């Protein structure tokens, strides 16, 4: 390929890779089943309509990683600063919609969090976040949990895909009608490493199951909602060309979508197994992925709008997830 074309393609992909490496974290209504009736509720008489479960009024505790915290979504508030927590993230919007007073809501989510940071101290570049589960008490009535993407190494898979496509650029394959999938092929040829991705997801699920048991132990009266990750990519990879160009193989975009679906499927399964409710953020975010227009997308692309985080929800994304959580909470 011409030198100028090579430099343009390689330079663009290098920038994409840098954005992905710096991105950090990760990655409708409820379809995880009805929440359990509160203690003391009388069983409905045979033939009588079921008694609606009242919407919880708090105290509400929000747990999670950067998708929950609202990395770089303005305004950034709270301590430690390294958690990059937003006053406009979905927990804050849910609390406001439920009319909860300040003393009835605690957001202890933190960017970069893994499941281990729910029970142990998380050290950030700017301060330490106490174990997130320490915010729970027997009085807690509502808990949302948005975690698992970091445990599953999802951003590592995204970064690896960027690297593999960069190799293709160096080989002069960018701009051709590629039918291969260098990222998928990398995992397939690395001793079955594609299965290793699933194993990481499964391990994250085991850790999440333990976390959900601990939440139930600390807050036995709380209704617990496990919040999934919004769609990062569209169903049709061709619609990403205006945003990503032809630098990333369409089949690799499909591969990344497949991995994210595995992650969300695990979250849904573990929620059901623990008697919690899964909140599907992927379905309502369809058409609002990173390849949608700036006015439409919920998730920022590798080159985000000024001041926002790459491959993370923007303010519209936090609003969309909040609407999904509220739909589940209100039943």
Given the residues 109, 186, 285, 312, select the one marked as catalytic.
312
Question: H/E/C letters for each residue in the chain?
Answer: CCHHHHHHHHHHHHHHHHHHHHHCCCCCCECCCCCCCCCCCCCCCCCCCCCCCCCCCCCEEEEECHHHHCCCCCCEECCCHHHCEECCCHHHHHHHHCCCCHHHEEECCCCCCCCHHHHCCEEECCEEECCHHHHCCCCCCEEEEECCCCCCCHHHHHHHHHHHHHHHHHCCCCCCCCCCCHHHHHHHHCCCHHHHHHHHHHHHHHHHHHHHHHHHHHCCCCEEEEECCCCCCCCCHHHHHHHHCCCCCHHHHHHHHHHHHHHHHHHHHHHHHCCCEEECCCCCCCCCCCCCCCCCCCECCCCCCCCCCCCCECHHHHHHHHHHHHHHHHC
Asked about 66 being catalytic, the answer comes back as: yes
Given the residues 66, 111, 219, 285, select the one marked as catalytic.
66
Asked about 312 being catalytic, the answer comes back as: yes
What are 166's two structure tokens? 């960069």
Residue positions annotated with a catalytic role: 66, 312
């Amino acid at each position: 390929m011409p030198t100028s074309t090579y430099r343009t393609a390689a330079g663009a992909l290098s920038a994409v890779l840098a954005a992905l490496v710096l991105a950090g974290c990760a990655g409708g209504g409820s379809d995880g089943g009805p929440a359990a009736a509160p203690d003391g509720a009388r069983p409905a008489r045979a033939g009588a309509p079921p008694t609606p479960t009242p919407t919880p009024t708090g105290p509400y505790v929000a747990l999670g990683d950067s998708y929950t915290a609202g990395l770089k979504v303005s305004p950034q508030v709270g301590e430690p600063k390294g958690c990059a927590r937003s006053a406009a993230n979905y927990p804050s919007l849910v609390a406001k919609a439920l009319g909860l007073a300040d003393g009835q809501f605690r957001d202890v989510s933190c960017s970069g969090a893994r499941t281990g940071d729910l029970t142990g101290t998380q050290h950030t570049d700017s301060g330490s976040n106490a174990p997130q589960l320490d915010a729970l008490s027997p009085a807690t009535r509502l808990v949302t949990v948005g975690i698992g993407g970091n445990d599953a190494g999802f951003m590592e898979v995204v970064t690896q895909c960027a690297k593999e496509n960069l190799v293709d650029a160096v080989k002069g394959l960018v701009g051709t009608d590629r039918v291969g999938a260098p990222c998928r092929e990398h995992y397939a040829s690395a001793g079955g490493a594609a299965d290793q991705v699933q194993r990481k997801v499964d391990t994250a699920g085991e850790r999440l199951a333990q976390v959900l048991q601990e939440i139930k132990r600390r807050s036995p009266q709380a209704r617990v909602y496990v919040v999934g990750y919004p769609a990062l990519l569209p169903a049709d990879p061709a619609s990403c060309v205006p945003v990503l160009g032809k630098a990333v193989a369409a089949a690799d975009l499909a591969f990344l979508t497949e991995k994210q679906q595995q992650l969300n499927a695990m979250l849904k399964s573990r929620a059901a197994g623990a008697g919690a409710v899964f909140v599907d953020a992927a379905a309502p975010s369809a058409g609002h992925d990173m390849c949608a227009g700036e006015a439409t997308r919920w998730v920022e692309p590798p080159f985000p709008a000024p001041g926002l985080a790459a491959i993370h929800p923007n303010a519209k994304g936090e609003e969309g997830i909040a609407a999904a959580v509220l739909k589940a909470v209100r039943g």
